[in-house]
Structure 1
C-alpha cells in the first residue's frame, strides 16, 4: 500500500490537479528504466517533494514536466493539457524552473537575469525592469543595490534568491525546483527554506521539489513522494503520516530509525498537551505560595500578572521554603521570582521548541500565544505529542531564522 491512495492520486473532489502523471515511464536506449509507471497528482497550490536514493528518477520526473526529458510512456498533464501536445518552448515559458546554484547567466546583470522570461515574451524594457525590481524586493534583495550586479558578485544564498525570482518573473502557476538549496551552507539553507516556504504560501504556487534531504522535504512539503531505484513510487503522503506509518519496508529503511525525531518538525504545539503548573501572582505571600507548590507536587511554580495573565517568571519552592525558615513569612513571591531565559510561541513546531528546551538548564519551557501563558513544555510533553496520532501538516514557522 502506497499511502494516500495506491495510485498516488491526491486531487480533492473534482478539481483538476495542477500536475498529473498518468502511467508515466522513462526507459533509455540502453534499457535503463529511470521511471516506472508513475501515477501521481499534484494539487493546485501544493508543494510536493520528490525524495529517494540516487538513481530513483527524481530529476527525470521533474524534467518530464517541462519536457526537458520526454517520457517514453504515459502522459504528463499540466493545467489540464497533455504536455506532449504543447509546444515545448511555450510550455517552458509558462513553468518556473530553479536549479542548484541558481543557473544564472554570468554575463547578464541580476536584473536582466530575473527579466529573462519577460524579455522572451516580448515585454517592453520598462515593464521588465519594474517586474524584476518587484521580485528582487519579494525575495529580500534591494533592487538598487543588487539589480546592477553580476552573479559572481553575489553570495551563494543571494544567487539562489535570484534564481527563485527569475522563476517567478512571468507569474507561472507551476514551479519546478531541482535541489535548489543543495549548494549553500547549512545556515543559509535553513534561511532560504523558510523564505521559500513563506513565498510559496503567500503566492499560492504549485511546486514540485526535488531534494536528497529528507529533513528538508519534511520541513517544506505538503506531501512527500518516496521513490525507489528505477523510479518506483513507494509512498505518497503527508510528512506526519509518512514518518508515523511507513507503507513499505523500503520506506522504513529510507526514513530511518530516527523518524520519530523527524516528526517533531511537523508536530504542532497543542495547548491540551502542555503541562499547566500552579500559577502564582507576584503579590502572593511566600507561605501561601510554598503550600500551593507543595500541593501541586512540583518544586517550582509559574508567576503571572493577576489581571493580564502575562508571564512574569518562575519561582523555586526551595527559595520560598528558605524565606520562611529565615522568618520572612511576610515576604512576597515577587521577591523570589526569576525570569525565564527564553520562551516559545505556540505557532512554532515541536522541533524548534524542543531544541530551545534542550539548550537551557531548566527542564520546562513556557509556551505563549502572543502574551498569554498557555502552559509549559517538558520532555514528557514531547513524548506524549509524538505518541499521539500523526500530525496534520503545519505551516512552516520562521523559527527566528530571518532571511539569508
Structure 2
C-alpha cells in the first residue's frame, strides 16, 4: 500500500496508462468509454477533447477513482489504481475542476493548505508552501491569503484552485474544464499562466476541455474522442491540425483548422524575410537606388541596432526627385506600432502585423533585429511545419 503521495513517483516513463478500459453505467446501455488504451508520459500535458457526452470527464475521474472502470485497468506510475487505497491515491493526485470548487468558509490560505494538513505536514512548512504557490499563480499572499473565495474574482478563484492542486507536489494533475467558467480575457490569461507554470514544474497532466483552441494552445498532445469514449486520434497539436486521422477528426477540428495551426507554429528566424536595411541618416536617393538594386518594395530602418521604422520605395523616390537635395531616410520613415519576437507563435505575430498599417512586422531575436514577418513568411512557416525540415 502507498503511504505517501511521493511514493507514486517510481521513475516510470509512462505515468498514466489506460489498458482496455471500458465504462458502462447500465448493462443494456451503450458504453460511455470503449476499449480505451493509451498512456501519458512523465511531464506531459495531454488534453482530452470531443463533443459533449463523449466520456472525457469519465476518463479523467477513473484516474483518481471517482469513477470505477467496468473493465480494464488504470495504472499510475506502474501501480494498478484498483489496488491502491482510494484516499491515499486521491491525496497524491491534484484535481482542479470548473469554478475551482473552493471551500467557501475557509480562507485562501486554508484552501491551498488542505492536502498538506491532511498529510500531517508541519505547520510552518505548510505555510511556506502555501505562500510559495500563491506567488507561483500570481496572487500576492499578503493581499489574498486571508480573503475568502467570495471576495475573489472568478479568475482568482481558479488560480487558487490550481495552487491547491499543486500544494502537496503531486506527480499527477487532473484538470476538468478548469477555465470554462471565466470570461475570454481572463481565460486567455489563465491559459498563459498555466502554460508558464507547467513549463517550470513539468507535471503529468490530463486536461479536459471542450475548446479545441485551448487544447492546441496548452497541450503537448491532444486526444480526440467520439461518442462512446472512442479514441479517434492522439497526436501533437501540429500533427492533429495538419494530418487529421479520419473524417471524425476532420469534422471536429473544423474547416478553419489551417488558421488554428498559426497558434501551434513557432516563429523562427530562418523563415523571416530579410528586406534591405538602411539607416535614418542615409540619403533618400542612395536608399532608393539600393532598393532598386535589391528589387525590394520597402526597407527597414535600423539605428544603432534598434528598429525605428520602415520606408517604401515610392516615398524614397519621391523624396529624391522632389525633395531637398540633402533629403534623408529619416524624413520619410514610417514608425512601427509593434514588434514580434521569435518566442511568439505565428498567431500572435500575424495578429500584430494585421493591427498596424504596414506590409511587414519587425521580429526581434534576443533583443536584436532578426528579420521581417510578411504574409509570405506565414505561408512558408506553415508549409515547413507540414513537410518537415
Task: Give TM-score, length-normalised by structure 1.
Answer: 0.90
Aligned residue for 1:20? 17
Deviation, 1:326, is 2.7
C-alpha distance in 2 between matches for 1:379 and 1:347: 18
Aligned residue for 1:205? 203
| Aligned partner (choices 341, 359, 364) of residue 363 of structure 1 | 359
Contact 2:238 2:385 in 1 (8 A): no
Deviation, 1:338, is 2.5
- The answer to whether 1:175 aligns with 2:168 is no
**More displaced stretch, 320-329 vs 266-275:** 320-329
| Aligned partner (choices 150, 159, 162) of residue 164 of structure 1 | 162
C-alpha distance in 1 between matches for 2:380 and 2:97: 40
Deviation, 1:145, is 1.5
Classify 1:68/1:327 alpha carbon distance in 2 versus 1 (closer, same or farther; 3 Å): closer
Q: List gaps (5 residues or longer) in structure 1.
A: 1-13, 393-404
- The answer to whether 1:319 aligns with 2:315 is yes
- The answer to whether 1:374 aligns with 2:367 is no
Deviation, 1:46, is 0.4
C-alpha distance in 2 between matches for 1:118 and 1:272: 48
C-alpha distance in 1 between matches for 2:271 and 2:145: 48
| Aligned partner (choices 315, 320, 342) of residue 346 of structure 1 | 342
Deviation, 1:325, is 2.1
Contact 1:286 1:329 in 2 (8 A): no
Deviation, 1:66, is 0.2
Once superposed, which parts of structure 1, at least 4 consecutive aligned residues long, lie more than 4 Å away? Answer: none
Aligned residue for 2:325? 329
C-alpha distance in 1 between matches for 2:270 and 2:122: 57
- The answer to whether 1:54 aligns with 2:24 is no
Q: CA RMSD in A?
A: 1.6
Deviation, 1:15, is 5.2
- The answer to whether 1:243 aligns with 2:249 is no
Deviation, 1:86, is 0.2
Contact 2:12 2:78 in 1 (8 A): no
Contact 1:240 1:391 in 2 (8 A): no
Deviation, 1:327, is 5.3
Deviation, 1:255, is 0.1
- The aligned runs of 1:106-117 (5 Å cut-off) are 106-117=104-115
* Structure 1 SS opposite 2:386: coil
* Structure 2 SS opposite 1:33: coil
Cα deviation 1:1-51 (Å, max 9, x = unaligned): xxxxxxxxxxxxx95311011111111125231111111110000000000
Cα deviation 1:273-328 (Å, max 9, x = unaligned): 211111112232221111111233333211123xx543232122233222222352
Contact 2:299 2:313 in 1 (8 A): yes
C-alpha distance in 2 between matches for 1:262 and 1:381: 16
C-alpha distance in 2 between matches for 1:159 and 1:309: 44
Task: Give TM-score, length-normalised by structure 2.
Answer: 0.93
Cα deviation 1:315-374 (Å, max 9, x = unaligned): 222332222223523332233322211111111000001111111121211111133212
* Structure 2 SS opposite 1:98: strand
Classify 1:134/1:309 alpha carbon distance in 2 versus 1 (closer, same or farther; 3 Å): closer
Aligned residue for 2:273? 275
C-alpha distance in 2 between matches for 1:391 and 1:112: 52
Cα deviation 1:258-281 (Å, max 9, x = unaligned): 000000001011222211111112
Classify 1:327/1:234 alpha carbon distance in 2 versus 1 (closer, same or farther; 3 Å): closer
C-alpha distance in 2 between matches for 1:265 and 1:291: 39
Contact 2:269 2:365 in 1 (8 A): no
* Structure 2 SS opposite 1:342: coil
